[in-house]
Structure formats: structure tokens, C-alpha cells
Amino acid sequence: MQTKTIEEYRLNQDPDLPDCLQSPNRLFWKKDGISKISPDCKDVFKHLSDQPFLSPLIKEGEERRPLRVGAVFSGGQAAGGHNVLSGLYDALKQFHSESRLFGFLNGPGGLIKGEYEEITEERINRYRNLGGFDMIGSGRTKIETSDQFQKSEKVIRDADLDGLVIIGGDDSNTNAALLAEYFLEQGVKTRVIGVPKTIDGDLKNADIETSFGFDTATKTYSASIGNILRDSLSAKKYWFFIKLMGRAASHIACECALQTHPNLTLIGEEIAKDNRSFQDLVEEIADLVELRAKNGKNYGAVLIPEGVIEFIPEFQSMIQELNRSSDSLSEKSEHCLKELPKFIQDQLLLDRDPHGNVKVSQIETERLFIEAVKEKLAQRKSDVKFNAQPIFCGYEGRSCLPSIFDSNYCYALGHVAASLINANQTGYMAAIQNLQANVRKWQAAAIPLTSMIHMEERKGKMKPVIEKALVELDGPVFSRLSAERENWKSRDDFLYPGPIQFFGPEDLTHQTTLTLQLTPAKVLETK
């Protein structure tokens, strides 16, 4: 039997394209409302202050010129990155056969150092629909200093780029806006377009319905969680404490909880709002363990978002203090730290990330909760069996074969980015809206990056930032979770979504996240 791998099948699959992107040469842009820039940002973004939103205008096109475009991956991997590049490539080549696409190597560092390679037809054809960022690599270098800006400018000028596409999260897109502004100021022709990437799902707002990678990551984690819930129900002897990747916000936890119905899900934003202490949470879990034990159930599962401890008030203060300096903790934080098991103390004091922060993802929150619940049950002199296993759903969800949703979404985002550069637009985020609908009905849009930016204190200095979208406690996703979760506590109402499917019935292959399905399509409603 001649066999092909799943990657070989996926490589040769054309993504579906929305109607509005079917003919790149007939796609133009029209103004669609003025963005409101935060007043305190006006000084930072003199050139980008009053940018309009743009929406597609389909009309007969004129001859297009060849474009030279660079692309860079910034930050952690998210499934679909290669399709942003293939979408870019295909659109640029449709504009003009002499258009050329370049990839900066290993993240923004490659841009500063002028390390890039051409993305040729032969090369892009080896990565269509595939996972990872490995065609050109990614990195976390931040373009911050004026020296770095100048170096980037020189590289861009030398490469004679018409456009630069920055594929990244909130920080990277803030950076895209700053670069766009800087290039305008310097009279550099290079247009800068951002693309919303992060598995965390926290780069979204009224205009950006979701970031790419969230769909694939949550499906990958939900498959694992479902398997683990089924295992827990079969063996009936383990409590699984499952930590989910996703830096600050608890979107991944919400989505995975709705997909799998675990017995308890911690939501960082709710904990912060209710001002709950670590001991409160431990009490709640211990209560649940005892409640289920009374029903003969010495098993279950708790979902823990990676960033949860930053939402627990006393930990939040402690981590903020640690991020400034570990030498001068307040008495309260010192106490909080010393009360923790030794292995957690070590993890908090470990070396920091390039931004100087505690590596929250290195903290074994899942083990911390297990130890604390054990201790709590011992204090209560409870005789329930509590046999717990820590699980981390993390790195395996970032570079996977993108789901059909992320494949299509990213390919469309690449088309939008190419079209905006062709239209000489800069400082925009490429957007695709109406994502709950069939791909053909998806809508393209261009969102001024400055419309998302405000000033925030970072390490004592005011900086422009794109606010991370936290879980809205009065929003439809959390409301659904909140309405249903009580039922999941004592019952075993587990769901088992299974692995991502690429073939077969469309209701399996094309299913979007519940987060997206539950969120009203605001843009279309108002248009």
C-alpha cells in the first residue's frame, strides 16, 4: 500500500477562502468609521492618531505592482503560522508574479540583525497547512531601544521592503504600531501590518473575534482532558489537577471546561473579582473532594489556568514585588512566600523571563494545589482517599497541525495583510470577522492598531500597550460556564471531544470553539 502521512494530505489541501478574498486583485479598501485613540497615546502616535477602520471594497482592479514583503513570527508558537505566510505568499504572487516574500529568522531578533531568507514557492509548498513556526523560527526579542529601531530601519531600507508583517500577540502588535509610527516619522516606505496570534485567546476585542491558534490549542487540550476524565471515571481512584497553558487570562480554561465538563475549573478573573485567597480556593477544592467522597467518588478533575496564581490577591502582590526585586519583599509577601512548599519557593525565585518577570509558566501550580489540599484534608482529619496526579497541558498545544479553522483563518489573514500592504496602509491589524459563519461568509477588515492601545505602567514607566482581553465575567462564555458548572461537581457529566479531525463530517472538522459560537458577532450586527 502506498501510504501518505497526514502532513502530506494536508500539504496538498487548499484552504477555503472567504468570498471577499477570492479575487485578491479586485480587493480594495474603504473607510468604515474613525477609530478612537486613547488621548494619552496621541503623543506616541502622531502619524497614526486618526486612522479609519477599513472594510473591503470589491471592484475591478488595475494593474498591480510587484511588492517586497518581510514577515516575522514574534513570541510563542500558535497553530496556523505557516498559513499566514502561505496566504501572504499566494496573494502577493497574484498581485504580481515578481512579488517577493522574505522571512526574518527566529523572531524580531532576525529583523534587528538583518537575518532573513526568501520564502520561495518550493519552500512555502513544504509548509502549507502545517504546524509550528519552524520555516523561519520565532523569538521573543523586543524591539525597544532606539538603537534597535534604527537597526531595523536600516535592514528594512536595505531590503527595500514595501511591507512588514508582524505575527504576534499583544506586545508584538503594540510593537508593530510603534514601528509603523517610526517608519512614517522617518519617511520609510515600509508599511507595517500586525496579525493576531496567541493560543491564549487574550488578543481579542470588539473588532478582533479571536487570535489564531486558540482553536487548535483548546481542541488539543480538550482531547487530552476528555481522555483524562474518562480515565478518572474508569479507574475511580485519581484526582487529576490539570494545569493549562495560557499566560494571564483564563480563556483556555473556560473553553476547555465547556468542552469537557470537569468537576471544578478555577477562573483567574473570578478569583480576583471575588478577592478570594489561596486558602479559600483550597477549602473549596477540599470541600469538593469530601462531597464526592461521600458519594463514593474518590476521583475527579480540577482545571487550573497557568496564570491563576497571579489573580490570587496575596500571590499577585508577592509576584509583583518579586518582578521588581526579590531582595525587598514586604512582610506580607515574605510571609506568603515562606508558607509555600519549598519547591514552589524555588520556582518563584528561579531566573526570570526576558521581560524580567517571574516565569509563571514554570510554577507548578498543579502540584501546589495538590499539596495544599492534602494538608487541608489532614487538618480536617478527613479520612477520604485523596490520590492526586498533576498534569500539564502545555507545549503540545502550540505547534500542532492547525485545525481546519485555524488553517483557513490564517490563510485568510495572510491575504488581508498582503492586500493592506498593496493598498499602502500601515499600522493596521489584519482581521477576519463573522467567524461563526461558513468560511465563504467570513468578512475581511483592517483595524487600526492604535484603536486597541492605551498607556499603562510597566516597571514604573508609562508604556503604550494593547490590553490583554480577560474573561468577561458578565460575558456569554463565562455565563454559560457559571450556569452549568454546579451540575458538574457531584455528577460525572464529563464530555470526551476526541482528537482533532481533518477528514469526514463537516460538523466535526469545521466546528469552531464554543467561545466563538457563544460570542455575538457584534460587527455584523451593527453594520
Point out the residues that are catalytic: 200
Q: Report if residue 440 touches a second copy, rule: CB under 8 A.
A: no
Separation of alpha carbons 320 and 325, rounded Å: 9
Q: Which three cell numbers stand for residue 423?
A: 493598498
Separation of alpha carbons 266 and 308, rounded Å: 7
DSSP letters, 453-494, are EEEEEETTEEEEEEPP-PPPTTSHHHHHHHHHHHHHHHS---
Separation of alpha carbons 275 and 307, rounded Å: 16
Which residues, 54 to 93, sit near a second copy by CB under 8 A? Answer: 73, 76-77
Among 24, 87, 108, 132, binds a second copy (CB under 8 A): 132
- Least Å distance, CB 280 to a second copy, is 28
Residue closest to 424 by CA, chosen among 241, 119, 192: 192
Q: Report if residue 483 touches a second copy, rule: CB under 8 A.
A: no
Which residues, 99 to 118, sit near a second copy by CB under 8 A? Answer: 106
3-state helix, strand, coil in the chain (%, to 5): 45, 15, 40
Q: Is 431 helix (H, G, I), strand (E, B) or coil?
A: strand
- By beta-carbon proximity to a second copy, the closer residue of 22 and 395 is 395
Separation of alpha carbons 18 and 432, rounded Å: 9
| Contact region with a second copy (CB under 8 A), list: 192-200, 267-275, 443-451, 500-508 | 500-508
Among 389, 423, 454, 467, binds a second copy (CB under 8 A): 389
Which residues, 334 to 363, sit near a second copy by CB under 8 A? Answer: 343
Q: Report if residue 376 touches a second copy, rule: CB under 8 A.
A: no
Q: Report if residue 395 touches a second copy, rule: CB under 8 A.
A: yes
Burial of 296 per CB tally in 10 Å (0-12, 13-18, 19+)? exposed
- By beta-carbon proximity to a second copy, the closer residue of 2 and 275 is 2
Among 62, 97, 146, 234, binds a second copy (CB under 8 A): 234
- Least Å distance, CB 426 to a second copy, is 28
Rounded to a whole number, what is the distance in angstroms from the first to the last CA of the chain?
Answer: 54
CA-to-CA separations, 160 to 14, 47, 311, 424, in angstroms, rounded: 31, 22, 46, 15
Among 157, 298, 384, 496, binds a second copy (CB under 8 A): 496
Q: Report if residue 212 touches a second copy, rule: CB under 8 A.
A: no
Q: Is 337 helix (H, G, I), strand (E, B) or coil?
A: helix
Radius of gyration of the chain (CA): 24
Q: Report if residue 383 touches a second copy, rule: CB under 8 A.
A: no
φ/ψ (deg, to 5) at 134: -75, -10
Q: Report if residue 231 touches a second copy, rule: CB under 8 A.
A: yes
Separation of alpha carbons 164 and 381, rounded Å: 62
Separation of alpha carbons 321 and 462, rounded Å: 18
- By beta-carbon proximity to a second copy, the closer residue of 342 and 461 is 342
Q: Report if residue 464 touches a second copy, rule: CB under 8 A.
A: no
- Least Å distance, CB 108 to a second copy, is 14
Q: Report if residue 220 touches a second copy, rule: CB under 8 A.
A: yes
Q: Report if residue 141 touches a second copy, rule: CB under 8 A.
A: no
Q: Is 511 helix (H, G, I), strand (E, B) or coil?
A: coil
Q: Report if residue 482 touches a second copy, rule: CB under 8 A.
A: no
Annotate each residue in 2-41 with x if it binds a second copy (CB under 8 A) or - if it does not, as one string. xxxxxx-xx-------------------------------
**Amino acid identity of 229?**
L
Cβ atoms of 174 and 465 closer than 8 Å: yes
DSSP letters, 275-294, are T--HHHHHHHHHHHHHHHHH
- By beta-carbon proximity to a second copy, the closer residue of 188 and 302 is 302
Q: Which three cell numbers stand for residue 124?
A: 512555502
Among 397, 414, 448, 464, binds a second copy (CB under 8 A): 397
Among 243, 251, 398, 468, binds a second copy (CB under 8 A): 398
Q: Which three cell numbers stand for residue 383?
A: 479520612
- Least Å distance, CB 464 to a second copy, is 26
Residues found near a second copy in the complex (CB under 8 A): 1-7, 9-10, 73, 76-77, 106, 130-134, 137-139, 220, 223-224, 227-228, 230-231, 233-236, 238, 240, 343, 389, 391-392, 394-401, 495-505, 507-508, 511
